[in-house]
Amino acid sequence: MNLTKSLGISAAGMAAQTTRLRVIAENLANQDSTGSTPGGSPYRRKTVAFVDRMDRALGTETVAIGKIGQDPSAFPLRYDPGSPAADAKGYVRTPNVNSFVEVMDMREAERSYNANLAVMQVSRGMLTRAIDMLK
């Protein structure tokens, strides 16, 4: 396999995981963001979908971000009659962000990022050794 191709594939994977980590961080930062009016919509969790993309420069398929969507699940209700976002019964619609799920997604993205980084480091080392042999 061409070492520059492996570097490009790993770079695409790292870019995709970086976007995924950014979306996860946004979800975690907004996990307490409720609506500002009674019955108003709170923050809706974002999701990331990956797709295969043909990279013509590399001559191979790489991973890319297909879509940053929204989680359609229902908003949990919390009883908080003093909140400005409370409805007539005193319930506030809270974001559909589960911090446990987000942390697990973050760990998976981190591991994928690190795996791609390791491939890049090995490829770079092989290129360096090949250049040293030519000297």
Domain count, the chain: 1
* pTM (2 d.p.): 0.87
Domain hosting 72: range is 3-134
* Structure confidence by residue, pLDDT tens digits, 81-122: 888 888 889 999 999 999 999 999 999 999 999 999 999 999
d(CA 69, CA 101): 16
Q: Which helix (H) or strand (E) holds 120?
A: helix 99-134
What are the Cα distances from residue 11, in Å, to 23, 106, 118? Answer: 19, 19, 11
* Structure confidence by residue, pLDDT tens digits, 28-82: 999 999 988 887 889 999 999 999 999 898 889 999 999 999 999 999 999 998 8
